[in-house]
Structure formats: C-alpha cells, structure tokens
C-alpha cells in the first residue's frame, strides 16, 4: 500500500499495512477561499463572511481572528451584520479544477475541512461575547448558525461535486488544556446538529471522516463516533487516551497521544527512546493509531538533533512495521 491507501484503510476502521505517520506526504491540499483559512503567512485575510484573519511566525502562521476586531457586538443584530456571499454566479468547476490540477490522486488523497461553528461564532463576536450569547440569547445563536450552515454546506456540496474528496475533517477547537469551553449538553444543543449535517453529507458520498480538536475534548468523542468520525488529531495527552482507545478501539483512531510538553527539552537519549517505545506499545496494538511523536524545542536547542534522530529511528525501525512484527 502507498501512504494514501494505508491511511484510508485506517479511517475505514481496519488495521493498515503499517502504522501511518502524521509526517507522511499523503495529502493533496489546496487553498479554499470560501471557508475559514488555516494559515495566513502573507498578511491579513478577509473571509467571505467579513472576518479578518492574521498569522504570525510564532504560531507557525496559523490563521487567527485579528485581535480586537469584533464585527458583531450584539447577537440579536446579526442579521444586519453577517451576510453570506451570493454564490449563484460562481464557476465552481473552473474554481476547483484550477486548484487540484497538480495533485496526483494515485498517491495523495484530497481532504476538505469545515464545520467550525464554535470558532465561527467566536470570530464574529470574540470569546467572551460569544460565550455570553450562548447563555443569554440561545435562539439567536441557533438562528445565526443555521444561516451560516446553509453557506458552509453549499460549499461542501460543490467540493463533493467537483473535487470528489476522499476525506473530510471537522475542525473546531472547543476546549482548553484542562476542560472544554462548554458542556456536552451544550455541544449537542448548539454545534453538533450542524456538524452532523456535514458528516451526513460526507457519509452519503462515501467520504471518510476525521476530527481536529485541541485540548481536553474527550467528552465529545462518543458523539463524534456516532456521526461517523473515525480519527482524532492532535489527541493531546491532557485527555485519558488509554480509556478512549479501550472504549472505542479502531472506531476512533488516535492521531497524536505524544506528550510534547513533557519531552520537548529532554537531553537524555535513553529516557527519550524509552518514552517513544512506550508510546508505540500503548497505542499501536490492534490498530487505530497514527504515529505523531515530535522532537520538540527549537531546531538549534540542546538535544534537538538527538530527539529528531530518535523519533525518525523509532518510527522507521520499530513503529512503522509494528503490525508485521507483533
């Protein structure tokens, strides 16, 4: 199997030929101008919904709403402020053909993403105002999300028609390091219904699903599995990932599980290698695992080369062929 076929096997809930790595060149990515940007390396980006995103080298140029730029102060006034674009005149075929023409589909799958309803609300209002709106004006929040959802789903339908993506990722960071920003009940009331629409549309078209969610978001995993999502990144160690693996097995693959904070500055090669081996032995058995260990620290920091060499060696000579040797 090539890297693409191997990873799609994992997303189907099967044991792949070898343990995938998050660093493999298996994805054919393209720039999507209609949805929330992932990166903003070249200055501000104003989205189709009027939100300004910026990036910075310190955050690896990840796109973030411009600080202090609030476009919706009062949730009850959203109809006067938030306007989705008119898509009736878009030449979707040309738009997407131009973006994916250089991707080798035999070697790489094309992922699409979206469903970021919580982060969309925050991008309009700022964190504090968005949280207050959820409690003070729940029906207005739902009406806004329903309006935005019609736009997001139309873009997804066009992606499905013209790109025929193999994978869809729901991306919505809704948790901090130690706790989620809201309860499971609130997730089910406000955000899950719209994300489920994305998942249902993906499932109807044979698209495999994964989820990006940072922080302690383990309490939502059961709902993700119910919607057909089969892989979670970065699956940070603030979560009880052993319990997640035990409960869901290959229904929820762990793409992560490495304690980057703990090992980022380690200069003890023996201890570092032992941790890598334990990491693989914990999550690789019976499939449902993507190797995602990182060296950590700055490239010129003490021990950085040792850690990177160890990561590469353990993956190539122990983790990758785990299913053949065990």
Mean pLDDT of 57-85: 94
pLDDT at res. 174: 95
Integer distance in angstroms from the first to the last C-alpha of the chain?
19
Pairing of the two strands 229-233 and 52-54: unpaired
pLDDT band at 221 (very low <50, low <70, confident <90, very high): very high
pLDDT at res. 297: 81
Mean pLDDT of 102-123: 97
Q: Which two tokens stand for residue 8?
A: 């799609």
Contact of 34 with 155, CB cutoff 8 Å? yes
Mean pLDDT of 271-275: 98
pLDDT at res. 48: 96
Flag whether pLDDT at 30 surpasses 90. yes
Q: Which two tokens stand for residue 248?
A: 């869901």
Flag whether pLDDT at 60 surpasses 90. no
Q: Which two tokens stand for residue 233?
A: 């990144």
pLDDT at res. 302: 86
Residue 245 φ then ψ, to 5°: -65, -40
Mean pLDDT of 21-25: 94
pLDDT at res. 296: 86
For 52-109, give the DSSP string: EEE--GGGTTB-EEPTT--S-S-GGGHHHH--PPP-TT--HHHHHHHHHTT--TTT-B
Q: What percent of the chain has a predicted confidence (pLDDT) above 90?
A: 94
pLDDT at res. 243: 98
pLDDT at res. 288: 98
pLDDT at res. 298: 83
268-276: long-range contacts (C-beta < 8 A, 24 or more apart)?
A: 269/306, 269/310, 272/306, 272/307, 272/310, 273/310, 273/314, 276/310, 276/311, 276/314, 276/318, 276/319
What is the rounded average pLDDT for all residues in the chain? Answer: 96
Pairing of the two strands 289-290 and 253-255: parallel
pLDDT at res. 22: 92
Flag whether pLDDT at 259 surpasses 90. yes
Mean pLDDT of 119-140: 98
How many other C-beta atoms are found inside a 10 Å radius of the C-beta of residue 168?
A: 27
Smallest Cα–Cα separation from 293: which of 236, 253, 248?
236
Domains, the chain: 1-26+258-326 (no CATH), 31-229 (3.20.20.210)
pLDDT band at 43 (very low <50, low <70, confident <90, very high): confident
Q: Is 123 helix (H, G, I), strand (E, B) or coil?
A: helix
How many other C-beta atoms are found inside a 10 Å radius of the C-beta of residue 29?
A: 14
């Amino acid at each position: 199997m090539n890297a693409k076929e191997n990873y799609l096997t994992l997303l189907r809930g099967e044991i792949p030929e070898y343990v995938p790595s998050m660093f493999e060149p298996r994805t054919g990515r393209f720039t999507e101008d209609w949805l929330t940007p992932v990166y903003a390396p070249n200055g501000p980006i104003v989205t189709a919904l009027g939100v300004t995103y910026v990036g910075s080298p310190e955050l690896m140029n990840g796109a973030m709403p411009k600080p202090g730029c609030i476009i919706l102060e009062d949730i009850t006034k959203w109809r006067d402020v938030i306007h989705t674009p008119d898509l009736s005149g878009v030449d979707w075929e040309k738009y997407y053909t131009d973006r994916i023409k250089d991707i080798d589909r035999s070697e790489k799958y094309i992922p699409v993403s979206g469903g970021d309803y919580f982060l969309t609300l925050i991008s309009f209002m700022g964190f504090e105002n968005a949280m207050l709106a959820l409690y003070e004006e729940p029906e207005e929040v739902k009406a806004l999300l329903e309006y935005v959802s019609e736009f997001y789903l139309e873009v997804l339908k066009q992606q499905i028609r013209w790109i025929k993506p193999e994978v869809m990722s729901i991306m919505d960071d809704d948790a901090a390091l130690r706790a989620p920003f809201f309860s499971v009940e609130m997730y089910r009331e406000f955000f899950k219904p719209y994300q489920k629409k994305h998942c249902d549309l993906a499932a109807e078209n044979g698209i495999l699903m994964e989820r990006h969610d940072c922080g302690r978001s383990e309490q939502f995993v059961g709902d993700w599995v119910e919607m057909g999502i089969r892989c979670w990144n970065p699956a940070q160690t603030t979560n009880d990932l052993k319990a997640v693996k035990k409960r869901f097995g290959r229904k929820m693959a762990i793409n992560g599980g490495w304690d980057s904070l703990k090992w980022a500055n380690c200069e003890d090669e023996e201890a570092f290698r032992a941790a890598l081996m334990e990491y693989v032995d914990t999550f690789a058995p019976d499939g449902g695992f993507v190797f995602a260990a990182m060296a950590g620290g700055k490239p010129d920091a003490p021990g950085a080369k040792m850690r990177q060499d160890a990561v590469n060696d353990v993956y190539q000579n122990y983790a990758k062929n785990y299913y053949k040797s065990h």
